[in-house]
Amino acid sequence: MTIDSMIPGMFIPQRYFSVGIFCSGSISTPVCILLVRQSEENRRLRQELELRVAELARLADMDGLTGLLSRNAFFDRAEQAHARPGNWYLLIDVDHFKRFNDDHGHQTGDAVLHAVATAIAQALRPTDLCGRLGGEEFVACLIDCDDDQAARRAEHVRASIQALRVRAPSGRMVRVTASIGLSAGDPAQPIEASLHRADLAMYAAKTGGRNQVRRAA
C-alpha cells in the first residue's frame, strides 16, 4: 500500500492504509496458527499410522494361540541365522497331546499349548528363536552355542515343560511332558536338513519312552 500511495493517482487515505495493515495481520495470524495445528495433527496421525503398521506386522509374525513365532516367521528368521556356524535346532513335541483334548476338552488342550510355549520361551535366551510349527509341535533355534551349551538348554526346556501344571475346567491339574530332538545346524546344507535330523531324534525320544532329549547322530 505504501508503494501504491507513492504512485500518482493511486493515493490511499491513511485510514484505509491502517485498516489494510490491521486486516492482513488479523487474518494471517489465525491462518498461521491453524497451519501449525494442522501440521502437528498430521504428524501425530502419521506416527499413529506407523505404530499400527508395525503392530500389524508383529501380529502377522505371531502364532495367535501361543504368542511364539508363526511357522513362516520362524523359517524367515532362522534362514538368516542358519548361514552362521554354531547354531542348534530343537524339535519339541508334546507327549500324548491328544489325551488332553479327548479327556479334558479342547480348552485344556489350548491351555497346555500356551503353557508349553511360555515355558520354552522362558527357558531360552532372548537371542534364540522359537516358534510353533503346528499342532503340538514346536521348534527352536539356539544361536551361537557349543555342544554342551546346546545340550544343557535342551534339557532345561524339557525340565521346564515337565514342571508345568495346567488346570482343566474340571479343576483337575494335568501334567505335561515333551520329547525333544536336538540337531547341530550345518550352514553347508539347507536348514530343512538340520530340522529333519532333529525330527528323527525327536521320534527316537518318543519311541525311547518320551519326556527326554535325544541328540541327532
pLDDT (tens digit per residue) in 30-59 = 767 777 777 777 777 677 656 665 454 554
Q: State if pTM tops 0.85.
A: no
User: What is the reported pLDDT for 60?
Assistant: 64
- Asked about 136 being catalytic, the answer comes back as yes
- Please tell me which residue, 24 or 145, carries the higher pLDDT value: 145
The region of weakest confidence among 30-44, 58-72, 132-146, 181-195 is 30-44
CATH architecture of 71-215: 2-Layer Sandwich (3.30)
pLDDT (tens digit per residue) in 99-126 = 999 999 999 999 999 999 999 999 999 9
pLDDT (tens digit per residue) in 10-28 = 555 555 555 555 555 566 6
Phi and psi, residue 141, nearest 5°: -120, 115
Shortest CA distance to 180 belongs to which of 197, 165, 199, 195? 199
> What average pLDDT does this structure show over 75-94?
95
Letter for the amino acid at 193?
A
Is 133's pLDDT higher than 70?
A: yes
User: What is the reported pLDDT for 119?
Assistant: 98
Is 68's pLDDT higher than 60?
A: yes
Catalytic member of 136, 137, 155, 192: 136
User: What is the reported pLDDT for 52?
Assistant: 61
What is the DSSP annotation of 56-94? HHHHHTB-TTTSSB-HHHHHHHHHHHHTSSS-EEEEEEE
User: What is the reported pLDDT for 1?
Assistant: 47
Letter for the amino acid at 144?
D
